[in-house]
């Protein structure tokens, strides 16, 4: 059984085996949580991202997939980078968002990570409605077959925290 915990705060201050990054497909950093992780984590993470890009993801990491690097100065062993979908009112992209959580947990299992901290993927610049994103995140983690013992959702603001809390209760 995986325990789900909710925390309101900055994911770059968390201590966990793995911290998940809501990356963009370039893997070269960006705004929001991605920028915060690279800022606090230092250049080692970006170096590794560049190498991954050169070796395997020349066209970018596809949406819904996940890949790990070391965590630099963060209080974690790994950063798992995953690319959330940009929200679309015309097209249902919930499967891609669920895939981010499932694939991140699969990578965590490969690494042997037992505690994994997630941000609310796609709910920032990618505009996914918080209530839908929270439901997909919690349902996907609950139904995942994983050896991860604790999934911690680290929500940056109160609105995001409340959206997740409503799904976990
Ligand atoms: P995306 O492009 O996937 O939407 P964003 O980084 O823009 O990614 O936003 C994803 C979520 O991460 C948003 O809910 C945003 O408020 C949140 N966020 C931004 N900075 C941090 C941080 N330091 N720690 C945790 N969550 C953060």
What ipTM was assigned to the predicted interfaces of this complex? 0.98
Q: If you measure from the C-alpha of residue 122 to the centroid of ligand 1, how many angstroms do you get, rounded to a whole number?
A: 8
Q: Is the CB of 124 under 6 A from ligand 1?
A: yes
| Burial class of 27 by CB neighbour count within 10 A (0 to 12, 13 to 18, 19+) | buried
Percent share of the chain, pLDDT over 70? 100
Phi, psi of 118 (to 5 degrees): -115, 140
For residue 113, the enclosing domain spans 3-168
Which CATH number goes with the domain that contains 23?
A: 3.40.220.10
Write out the two tokens for 56.
């395997």
Confidence of residue 157 (pLDDT cuts 50, 70, 90): very high
Residue with CA closest to ligand 1 atom 10: 124
Write out the two tokens for 31.
């705004």
Which residues are catalytic, by number? 34
Residue with CA closest to ligand 1 atom 18: 33
The tens digit of pLDDT for each residue in 60-98 reads 999 999 999 999 999 999 999 999 999 999 999 999 999
Q: How many structural domains does the chain have?
A: 1
What is the rounded distance in angstroms from the CA atom of residue 52 to the CA atom of residue 138?
29
* pLDDT recorded at residue 89: 96
The tens digit of pLDDT for each residue in 28-55 reads 999 999 999 999 999 999 999 999 999 9
């Amino acid at each position: 059984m995986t325990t789900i915990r909710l925390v309101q705060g900055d994911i770059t201050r968390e201590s966990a085996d793995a911290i998940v990054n809501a990356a963009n497909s370039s893997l070269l950093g960006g705004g929001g949580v991605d920028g915060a992780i690279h800022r606090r984590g230092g250049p080692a993470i970006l170096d590794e991202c560049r190498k991954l890009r050169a070796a395997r993801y020349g066209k970018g990491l596809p949406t819904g997939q996940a890949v790990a690097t070391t965590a630099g100065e963060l209080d974690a062993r790994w950063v798992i980078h995953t690319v959330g979908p940009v929200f679309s009112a015309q097209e249902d992209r919930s499967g891609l968002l669920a895939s981010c959580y499932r694939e991140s947990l699969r990578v965590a299992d490969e690494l042997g990570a037992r505690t994994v901290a997630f941000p609310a993927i796609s709910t920032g610049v990618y505009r996914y409605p918080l209530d839908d994103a929270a439901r997909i995140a919690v349902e996907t983690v609950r139904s995942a077959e994983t050896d991860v013992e604790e999934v911690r959702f680290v929500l940056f603001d109160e609105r995001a925290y409340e959206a997740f809390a409503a799904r976990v209760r």
